[in-house]
Amino acid sequence: MFFSRRFASQYAPRRLPPTIKELLGSNIPQETSVSLNGWIKSIRKQKRVSFAVISDGSNAKGIQAVFPNTLDVKDLTNGSSVRLTGNLVSSPGSGQAKELQVKAVDVLGACPQETYPIQKKDLTNEYLRENVHLRARTTAIAAMLRLRDCLHRSIHDYLKSQSFVHVHAPILTANDAEGAGETFRIAPVAAHPDAQVTETQCPTEFFGAPAHLTVSSQLHMEAFQAALSRVYTANPAFRAERSQTSRHLAEFWMVEPEWTLTEGITEVCDVTEDLLRDIVNRAFVECAEDVEALHAAGGRLERLEALKAAVSPDTPRWRRMTYTEAVETLQRTGVKFKQTPTWGASLSSEHERYLAEEVVKGPVFVTNYPREIKAFYMRVDDPSLPREQQTVSCFDLLVPHMGELVGGSVREERADVLEEKMREEGMILPEQSSNEGPYAWYLSLRKLGATPHGGFGLGFERLVSWVGDVDSVKECIPVPRTVGRIDL
């Protein structure tokens, strides 16, 4: 009696059953019976024995299951979900160290072949986007999802190791993102059907003012930096982008660290590079099978070697060059670009890729762009120069086959310089004092215990595309959102 009460009062957490990945990594003796759940990815039925690959999504290759002809395999079809019991034994075949000798099989959910969209191999990306609710059953999309998970976790771990605090910036914002592209706006509420309710009681704007979806959390992160010193967010962001490119989504995820600086733009570049090297190296270890599966699908294994070289500890810090040097370099090449490289104009995608692929042959930080082509919040290097000659403390990190992967800057912490720039952008109107208008809070951060600070924004899908050599960011996010289409 006493003992049973003691036992009853003990709490023991539950362990979920081992996944296929865990089983394959374990040392379970081959005489011990094991069970697993999964979906049939392929099956080859033969007279004496049948072979199937079973996946539960925990690894890239799944597990090979061998069914003796004493078992009924006629209901085992691609896509059906099964529960298998058997023994893990050394595999005589190549491609796997162990396989499951099946002793019992239960079909949990059948999958009629005539209606299953994911049967064939080599389905096109467009076809899989139309079946986005099922495309995670393909090897490449599942590998991409695990790679995302791995990179996401590594980013959090790395920033934690540098004492950053993760802060969720708001998704809905009053900020309409001056100059950062078209925003999505929340629809006003339909007029209230009860006529007795006046508009004052029930205004058409739910929040009392127009609300937009965030395009970047940077301004908000600057406010939290001004209290916690080192902060970051890993949030969704939205742009009403109408052009369909392989690098743009209407909904995407972005990692935005912001911190009190002790040095200038070099520190921002260094932290960016350190983060990227750390997380990519971790992906090579923790997610090796998936990275290889993605690169194998792309068929350009030389890019995997180039990526490994870029993040190797034997590779010195990535090249930094100023915008001015970059333009001069492009001009000197003699290459006939569609758009002639000119000081004062933005670098085109063609210029960016040429710098990374041909000049540097690896990642390159291009720094100190002209003030006129960059955002208002970037710190002016020398305000005494004529405005059209001024540059700002910023960088774009360009990588081969993609172009911009990260953008960062030192933020303008001088209240007077910032106010002038905000007036130029119309963020403070001529009749307003600097304490008025929707961005007064932002300027006030410069008047109430300002610090030198900076940060960067890393597009998460571009990161996945870079690490996995995936052609389009539409295949780098679980459910892509682009103009003209919304599935699920």
Q: How many C-beta atoms lie closer than 10 Å to residue 133's C-beta?
A: 11
Give the number of residues written for the chain. 488
Q: Which is nearer to a copy of itself, 109 or 193 (CB)?
A: 109
Question: Closest distance between a copy of itself and the C-beta of residue 452, in Å?
Answer: 7
> In this chain, which stretch among 74-82, 341-349, 365-373, 418-426 interacts with a copy of itself, using CB under 8 A?
74-82
Q: Which of residues 51-70 bind a copy of itself (CB under 8 A)?
A: 56-58
- Residue from 92, 109, 299, 386 touching a copy of itself (CB under 8 A): that is 109
Q: Which of residues 316-335 bind a copy of itself (CB under 8 A)?
A: 316-317
Amino acid found at 319: R
Q: Please state the separation of Cα 215 from the chain's center in Å.
A: 15
Q: In 388-409, which positions are buried (b, 16+ CB within 10 angstroms) versus exposed (e)?
A: eebbbbbbbbbbbebbbbbbbb
Amino acid found at 80: S
- Residue from 315, 339, 340, 389 touching a copy of itself (CB under 8 A): that is 315
Question: Closest distance between a copy of itself and the C-beta of residue 449, in Å?
Answer: 4
Q: Which is nearer to a copy of itself, 33 or 339 (CB)?
A: 33
Q: Which is nearer to a copy of itself, 15 or 338 (CB)?
A: 15
- Residue from 128, 250, 394, 458 touching a copy of itself (CB under 8 A): that is 250
3-state secondary structure 229-281: CEEEEEEEEECCCCCCCCCCCCEEEEEEEEEECCCCHHHHHHHHHHHHHHHHH
The pairing of strands 319-322 and 364-367 is parallel
Torsion of CA 318, 322, 326, 331, to 10 degrees: -150
Q: Which of residues 458-477 bind a copy of itself (CB under 8 A)?
A: 477
Q: Which is nearer to a copy of itself, 91 or 131 (CB)?
A: 131
Please give the Cα distance from 451 to 370 (Å, whole number). Answer: 24
Binding mask 182-201 for a copy of itself (x = CB under 8 A): --xxxxxx------------
> In this chain, which stretch among 233-241, 296-304, 341-349, 360-368 interacts with a copy of itself, using CB under 8 A?
233-241
**Where would I find the H helices in 343-445?**
349-354, 415-424, 440-444
Q: Which is nearer to a copy of itself, 304 or 464 (CB)?
A: 464
Burial class (CB in 10 A: 0-12, 13-18, 19+), 44: exposed
Residue 390 tokens read as 């001024």
Amino acid found at 119: Q
Please give the Cα distance from 287 to 158 (Å, whole number). Answer: 16
Q: Which is nearer to a copy of itself, 56 or 289 (CB)?
A: 56
The verdict on 306 binding a copy of itself (CB under 8 A) reads: no
Question: Closest distance between a copy of itself and the C-beta of residue 469, in Å?
Answer: 21
Nearest CA-CA partner of 310 in 364, 254, 256, 351: 364
Question: Closest distance between a copy of itself and the C-beta of residue 345, in Å?
Answer: 26
Question: Closest distance between a copy of itself and the C-beta of residue 396, in Å?
Answer: 20
Q: How many residues bind a copy of itself (CB under 8 A)?
A: 120
Q: Which of residues 148-187 bind a copy of itself (CB under 8 A)?
A: 148-149, 152-153, 156, 160, 162-163, 165-175, 184-187
Residue in the block written with tokens 């595999």: 91
Q: Which of residues 432-461 bind a copy of itself (CB under 8 A)?
A: 441-442, 444-452
Question: Closest distance between a copy of itself and the C-beta of residue 321, in Å?
Answer: 17
Question: Closest distance between a copy of itself and the C-beta of residue 412, in Å?
Answer: 13
- Residue from 62, 177, 238, 327 touching a copy of itself (CB under 8 A): that is 238
Please give the Cα distance from 298 to 229 (Å, whole number). Answer: 41
Q: How many C-beta atoms lie closer than 10 Å to residue 373's C-beta?
A: 12
DSSP state of 105: E
The verdict on 229 binding a copy of itself (CB under 8 A) reads: yes
> In this chain, which stretch among 273-281, 301-309, 400-408, 424-432 interacts with a copy of itself, using CB under 8 A?
273-281
Binding mask 278-297 for a copy of itself (x = CB under 8 A): x-------------------
Please give the Cα distance from 153 to 200 (Å, whole number). Answer: 46
> In this chain, which stretch among 96-104, 229-237, 361-369, 385-393 interacts with a copy of itself, using CB under 8 A?
229-237
Q: Which is nearer to a copy of itself, 101 or 229 (CB)?
A: 229
